[in-house]
Amino acid sequence: MTDTAAIAHDDSRARRNMWILVAAQAVLGSQVAMIYTVAGLAGGMLAANACLATLPISLIVIGSMTTAPWLSSAMQVLGRRAGFFIGAGGGVIGASISAWGLWTDSFLLFLLGSYCTGIYVSAQGFYRFAAADTASDAFRPKAISYVMAGGLASAVIGPTLGTNLADSFVVPFLGTYLGAIAINLVGMALFLLLDIPKPPRPAAGQPTGRSRLELLRDPTVLVAIICGMVTYALMNLVMTSTPLAVVGCGFDTETAGFVVTAHVLAMFAPSFFTGHLIARFGARTIISIGLAILAGAGTVALAGVELENFFLALILLGLGWNFGFIGATTMLAQAHTPEERGRVQGMNDMFVFGMVALASLVSGGLMNCSGGNAQEGWASVNLAMVPFLALAGGALIWLTLRPEK
């Protein structure tokens, strides 16, 4: 078989896996948008202190961060399919415990359920890497991008279901979490269709790839991780506080849901062409554009608290995240070998979700406790973006100016 034929065969399988993962992103991913839409509001209802309203979202992210290393290692040994089943199971457990916490009016149980939901969120983060596993170098950025585009459907389904189910029971938000349980159980069937081989185990005496420390010393790996951390953390920083800010500025919960929907649409709709842009202009260029758009989102948010400001700022936030995060994922996927996959991907997502957890914790404090009203808290949230944008921008400049080896 010629090299060309082998590549064509590989990309045929890669396309099939890609569409299965697109469906998983759309179906199972809708629960994330559902839960993020109501978790801060539910937390505010259960927590004794308003400053802790966004703590459930922080626990979801902390769950993702602490799950990523061992789940990535499990996928290295057991394969992607087993890892994704574990993730969906975590989603069922997390939503069940959260629903129990709402039923019993227990903030602690609600937090525990949020942490377990993070297991699913961690697994979903590996959909993008799984799309690259069987793809050729040329098709890899497109496969990653299209899988991310599956979030477009979840952007429509998730917030709409979240708000519509929120008042379907006497206990507010209980219906949202029961809906998340059903989504996980139905979506699990998709993983039976995946055809991604387990990474080959090196024979005795053969190289096993670089250690985690050696990988971090690779400039491309390091900058890819930094850019992924910053773009995801800034998106979460602002999005976490958005429902609180929208409601705090005089609009209703349904309007907050519309703003979140617009944001999530902007996160995933560009994915239909982001991979093509990366293939043409390179990951570094697209990441740079993403960081500039994120800066624009903060500028619009600081300009006012009218409804159009919320919509435009959150749309720009989603678009900037898309360019920055898909660009960083592509850069990372091109910088390691199959033997290093479990180490580098788990380490990457641990750092990414660790920064996201910090951002969500800071978000609630800035929003509720840094000013005298919602407008001042919202301004503090958006001003906090500045140092992180400087970090990622500086890292990209350093990598670009650094002599190539």
- For 332, the token pair is 């990372």
- Separation between Cα atoms, residue 288 and residue 284, nearest integer Å: 6
Q: At what angle do helices 283-302 and 374-383 cross, to 10 degrees?
A: 160
Closest CA to 118 of 99, 102, 94, 98: 94
DSSP 8-state symbol, 373: S
Q: How many other CB atoms are there within 10 angstroms of residue 217's CB atom?
A: 11
Helix (H) or strand (E) holding 43: helix 30-46
Burial class (CB in 10 A: 0-12, 13-18, 19+), 367: buried
SS3 of 297, please? helix
SS3 of 66, please? helix
3-state helix, strand, coil in the chain (%, to 5): 80, 0, 20
The answer to whether the beta carbons of residues 55 and 368 sit under 8 Å apart is no
The answer to whether the beta carbons of residues 104 and 327 sit under 8 Å apart is no
pLDDT tens by residue, the chain, 405 residues: 333 344 444 588 889 999 999 999 988 988 888 888 788 788 888 888 777 777 888 889 889 888 988 898 888 888 899 999 999 999 999 999 999 999 999 999 999 999 999 999 999 988 988 988 888 888 888 888 888 888 778 777 777 777 778 778 888 889 889 999 999 999 999 999 998 887 777 666 666 678 888 888 899 999 999 999 999 999 989 988 888 888 888 888 778 878 887 887 888 888 888 888 998 899 999 999 999 999 999 999 999 889 899 999 999 999 999 999 999 988 998 887 777 777 888 888 888 888 887 887 788 778 877 777 888 889 999 999 999 999 999 999 999 888 766
- Separation between Cα atoms, residue 94 and residue 81, nearest integer Å: 20
- Separation between Cα atoms, residue 27 and residue 188, nearest integer Å: 10
The answer to whether the beta carbons of residues 28 and 120 sit under 8 Å apart is yes
Q: Taking the mean position of all CA atoms in its chain, how far away is CA 200?
A: 28
The answer to whether the beta carbons of residues 38 and 31 sit under 8 Å apart is no
Q: How many other CB atoms are there within 10 angstroms of residue 120's CB atom?
A: 33
- For 92, the token pair is 């069922």
Burial class (CB in 10 A: 0-12, 13-18, 19+), 206: exposed
Cα-trace Rg, the chain: 20
- Separation between Cα atoms, residue 198 and residue 179, nearest integer Å: 32
DSSP 8-state symbol, 296: H
Phi and psi torsions of 386, nearest 5°:
-60, -55
DSSP 8-state symbol, 205: T
Closest CA to 79 of 157, 191, 1: 191
Phi and psi torsions of 206, nearest 5°:
-85, 155
- Separation between Cα atoms, residue 282 and residue 330, nearest integer Å: 9
Q: What is the CATH number of domain 8-194+212-401?
A: 1.20.1250.20
- For 283, the token pair is 């990951």
- For 234, the token pair is 């800034």
